[in-house]
Amino acid sequence: MYYKPLQRNDSLSHDPFNALVVPRPIGWISTISREGVVNLAPYSYFNAVSNKPPMVLFAPVGPKDSQRNAEAMGDFVVNLVTWDLREKMNATSASVSPEISEPELVGLEMKPSQLVKPPRVAAAAAALECRWVKSVPLETAAGERMAGAIVIGEVVGIHIDDAIIVDGRIDLSARQVISRLGYKDYGVLDTIFSMPSPG
Ligand SMILES: Cc1cc2nc3c(=O)[nH]c(=O)nc-3n(C[C@H](O)[C@H](O)[C@H](O)COP(=O)(O)O)c2cc1C
């Protein structure tokens, strides 16, 4: 089969794109609005893009509070999503108005960050404090402006639950990070293997 994204193929019930670029890490983004409302939402168009300095991006596909807040206030926090937090994470993806605080709505305790204004998810195994760098509006190869954007941040501080530090290394085996697949599917990181680099 050859699939052209803009010309739907009737033999596939769903667009296959999201089921092929997998697994996608989930950035659970906390922000705070000018009015002081704490916002929390998951983004699987999310990834690390550099480690010197550490930088991340997330991509809202349309106008979203997380982007608006990050731009208005200049910062955001990326909370790690693990198996134990999957239901709460999903609940925070509900489409609610900006005056509603998702952590309050779903009953999630937040803790203050050190260098940025938005708080972090208290139960998260790790949280990346980010300063907003820039947002890049998306446009197609033909130059058509899309509703989405790439929001880029620099990681300026990292909270790590001491329980996931074993012999000076991060060990997430007890918490099991989850990732996004296609459709309504998720993956659990439960098998890890090492390979020596060829040098
Ligand atoms: C696992 C998961 C991943 C998601 N990834 C994205 C994404 O990458 N981009 C996006 O625009 N929406 C994504 N969503 C939907 C947003 O979380 C949802 O639109 C949310 O209401 C946005 O909240 P906000 O307006 O407070 O930022 C995702 C939802 C889930 C459950």
Per domain, the residue ranges of the chain are: 25-161
> What is the fold, at CATH topology level, of the domain defined by 25-161?
Pnp Oxidase; Chain A (2.30.110)
| C-beta 180 within 6 A of ligand 1 | yes
Please give the mean pLDDT across all residues of the chain: 96
Atom of ligand 1 nearest to the CA of 63: 25
pLDDT digits (tens, 9 = 90+) for 162-192: 999 999 999 999 999 999 999 999 999 989 9
Question: Which of 17, 64, 69 for mutating ligand 1's site (highest number of atoms within 8 Å of CB)?
Answer: 64
Percentage with pLDDT > 70 across the chain: 100
Confidence (pLDDT) at 106: 97
Task: Say if ligand 1 is within 6 A of residue 178 CB.
Answer: no
Token pair in block for residue 137:
């509006």
- Regarding the beta carbon of 75 and ligand 1, being less than 6 Å apart is answered no
Q: Which two tokens stand for residue 143?
A: 């130059």
Atom of ligand 1 at shortest distance to CA of 96? Answer: 21
Residue 53 CA to ligand 1 center (angstroms) comes to: 26
Q: Are 80 and 28 in contact (CB under 8 A)?
A: yes
From the CA of 77, how far away is ligand 1's center (Å)?
15
The predicted pLDDT at position 27 comes to 98
Q: Give the C-alpha separation, 170 to 187, whole Å.
A: 20
d(CA 77, CA 70): 9
Question: How is residue 67 written in tokens?
Answer: 């982007």
Over the stretch 86-103, which tens digit does the pLDDT of each residue have?
Answer: 999 999 999 999 999 999
What is the model's pLDDT at position 70? 98
Does the beta carbon of 64 sit less than 6 angstroms from any atom of ligand 1?
yes
CB 186 less than 6 A from any atom of ligand 1 = no
Q: How far is CA 31 from CA 46, 71, 152, 176, 180, in A?
A: 15, 10, 14, 25, 21
- 39 in contact with ligand 1, CB cutoff 6 A: yes
